A and B are shown apart, each in its own frame.
Chain A
Amino acid sequence: MNLYEVLFWLLTVVAIGSALGVILSRNPVSSVLFLIVTFFAVSGHYVLMNAQFLAIVNIIVYAGAIMVLFLFVIMLMNLNADAEPQKNRLVQLAGVLSGGILFLVVLAALKTSSNNLLEQTATDIGLIKNLGMTLFTKFVLPFEISSVLFLSAMIGAVVLGKKGEPQK
């Protein structure tokens, strides 16, 4: 068990544990925090796999920006109490069971899929320079077209978020 493996297992346990924390904690704020932890763990995995750029982006964009937005909204709505009424037990059980069964089915389906080993040699494809090259040459179209996505999102935020629509 080398360091790599130790880190892998550690991050894995953290990721799964905090993911469970997201869905089990009764306080929305702690859910958010658990989710941020999960993101950090996932970023750790990225680093392990030499995807340094993505690891950084993940932390900055996801953990930093997006989750803060979530937190902001939760705070805005005063949902930080434990007040969320729980679904009844049966529904929760059904949720867990169906999710678990799906997990098992997919697992069973994929257990023989591939036995490739991830080599632990460092590669540089995950470096910002390489990614940038690929992004702005090969994938320039999606990059540009994403602007449409953001425009839509912007319109959405304006249209939906703006207050004071007069009553018809």
Chain B
Amino acid sequence: MPIQYYLFLSMALFSIGIMGTLMRRNAIIIFMCIELMLNAVNLLLVAFSKMYNDSSAQIFVFFSMVVAAAEVAIGLAIIVMMYRKVHSVDINILNRLKH
């Protein structure tokens, strides 16, 4: 299996994640799309780990999950805080700060 395939797969998932962040208005969905991007990267990392037969990349994936978990904690807290204020998670209403 050429590494290219994993590269392209990962890039495809990554791009789908990006598209999602651009297309959706729901903050939670956007956040999920970002998680999708992280996963795409993790997949690629594992593929490279396999290619180089090097475990440090897998450690890296481990840490990226750690970070993702921390981010989720914060992110959801922020979204909840936001929701309490405006009863919506639509990012389009976040436009008090502009220009």
Partner of A19, one of B17, B23, B24, B89: B17
What is the number of residues of chain B that contact chain A, defined by CB distance less than 8 Å? Answer: 70
Instruction: Please tell me if A10 contacts chain B, counting CB pairs below 8 Å.
Output: no
Give 1 or 0 for each of A42-67: 1 = CB within 8 Å of chain B CB. Answer: 10011001110110011001100110
Give 1 or 0 for each of B10-38: 1 = CB within 8 Å of chain A CB. Answer: 01111111111111111011011101100
Give 1 or 0 for each of B40-83: 1 = CB within 8 Å of chain A CB. Answer: 00110011011101111011011101111111111011111101
Give the Cβ gap from B6 to chain A, nearest Cβ, in Å: 7
Residue of A nearest to B15 (CB): A103
**Known interface pairs A115-B4, A134-B55. Does A157 touch B33 (Cβ–Cβ under 8 Å)?**
no
Partner of B68, one of A66, A106, A117: A66
Contact assessment for B54 and A149 in the assembled complex, using a CB-CB cutoff below 8 Å: no
Give the Cβ gap from B14 to chain A, nearest Cβ, in Å: 8
Contact assessment for B26 and A23 in the assembled complex, using a CB-CB cutoff below 8 Å: no
Partner of B74, one of A114, A135, A156: A156
Contact assessment for B62 and A66 in the assembled complex, using a CB-CB cutoff below 8 Å: no
**Known interface pairs A49-B50, A87-B23, A146-B66. Does A118 touch B2 (Cβ–Cβ under 8 Å)?**
yes
Chain A contacts for B63, CB-based, 8 A: 139, 142, 146
Q: Is the interface of B mostly helix, strand, loop or mixed?
A: helix
Give the Cβ gap from B81 to chain A, nearest Cβ, in Å: 5
Residue of A nearest to B70 (CB): A153
Contact assessment for A42 and B22 in the assembled complex, using a CB-CB cutoff below 8 Å: no
Contact assessment for A106 and B55 in the assembled complex, using a CB-CB cutoff below 8 Å: no
**Known interface pairs A4-B1, A35-B32, A107-B11. Does A118 touch B50 (Cβ–Cβ under 8 Å)?**
yes
**Known interface pairs A28-B28, A51-B58, A62-B39. Does A95 touch B22 (Cβ–Cβ under 8 Å)?**
yes
Chain A contacts for B70, CB-based, 8 A: 149-150, 152-153
Contact assessment for A123 and B33 in the assembled complex, using a CB-CB cutoff below 8 Å: no
Partner of A49, one of B15, B46, B69: B46
Give the Cβ gap from A12 to chain B, nearest Cβ, in Å: 5
Contact assessment for B32 and A32 in the assembled complex, using a CB-CB cutoff below 8 Å: yes
Chain B contacts for A146, CB-based, 8 A: 63, 66-67
Contact assessment for B35 and A66 in the assembled complex, using a CB-CB cutoff below 8 Å: yes
Give 1 or 0 for each of A8-45: 1 = CB within 8 Å of chain B CB. Answer: 10001001100110110000100110010011001001
